[in-house]
Amino acid sequence: MPDERLSVENLHLWRGDSHVLRGVHFTLERGACLEVRGSNGAGKTSLLRTLCGLMYPEEGRILWNGVDVRRDLAAFHSQLAYLGHEPPLKADLSARENLHYWIGVRRPLASAELDSALARVGAGSWSRRLVRTLSAGQRRRVALAALALLTVPLWILDEPTTNLDTEGQQLVGELLSQQLARGGIVVAAVHQGLPSAVREIRRLELAA
């Protein structure tokens, strides 16, 4: 992996009348993890969606390896994985089918690779059940399997540990540690703090 760097310069974002992001700036080098904290409505999700390029900031720039991401959004997107609040799963497809389509649109995916990612998150026994019959925690685990398959340099995660039991939270910690050890970059919005397996976390506190 070449030297990846995510820089955010003087980011300002308005949502209607509220000034959500007021001059956010940071730089993350390879292997860095940024934990974004803040009370409800402080703009954690807005910051993550702006980083992804889904939302347009009123002011400021986001640079990936020194290049403004707006210049080639598709190229930037192929380098990042974003997990939102809700796992983007279809209720009428099984966990396995969901991943087959979701990841397959992004990169070639072998069937064995898919199965072992599902087994890794503990979904081996229920990966062929329809997602509508799965619990919120199980759905989150399917999303983690997707993350394990997306070995891209930048992960942007919104509350990755929601709905997970202790074992599931450990799994998040493991996945994040591996991503950082690979030289990847992680930006995660959290409430309770990231699992302790992740060392050397930088923190960004958003004021409401």
Partner 1 sequence: MRPGSPASVLPSPGVAAVSAPDMRTASALTAARLALARDLQLAFRRPSQLVQPLAFFAIVTLLFPLAISPELSRLKFVAPGVLWAAALLASLLALEFLFRDDASDGTLEQYALSGQSLTGLMFAKTVAHWLLTGLPLALTAPLAAVSLGAPATAMPGVLLAVAVGTVPLSLIGSIGAALTLGMKRSGALLSLLTLPLSLPVLIFGARATQLAIGGASILAPVELLGALAVLAVTLAPLAAAAAVRISLE
Q: Which residues bind partner 1 (CB under 8 A)?
A: 1, 52-56, 74-75, 77-80, 82, 84, 86-93, 97, 100-102, 104-108, 113, 116-117, 119-120, 124, 148-149, 151-152, 171, 174-175, 177-178, 181-183
**Strands laid side by side in the 154-158 sheet:** 80-83, 154-158, 185-189, 33-37, 201-205
Q: Are 73 and 146 in contact (CB under 8 A)?
A: no
Distance in Å, CB of 76 to partner 1, minimum: 8
> Rounded to an integer, what distance in angstroms lies between the CA atom of residue 163 and that of residue 181?
26
**Which CB, 37 or 116, lies closer to partner 1?**
116
Distance in Å, CB of 89 to partner 1, minimum: 7
Distance in Å, CB of 1 to partner 1, minimum: 7
Q: Are 18 and 43 in contact (CB under 8 A)?
A: no
**Which CB, 119 or 136, lies closer to partner 1?**
119
**Which CB, 22 or 107, lies closer to partner 1?**
107
**Which CB, 37 or 79, lies closer to partner 1?**
79
> Rounded to an integer, what distance in angstroms lies between the CA atom of residue 190 and that of residue 88?
19
The tokens of 41 are what?
A: 């409505």
Helix 111-120 vs helix 136-149: crossing angle, to nearest 10: 130
Distance in Å, CB of 202 to partner 1, minimum: 20
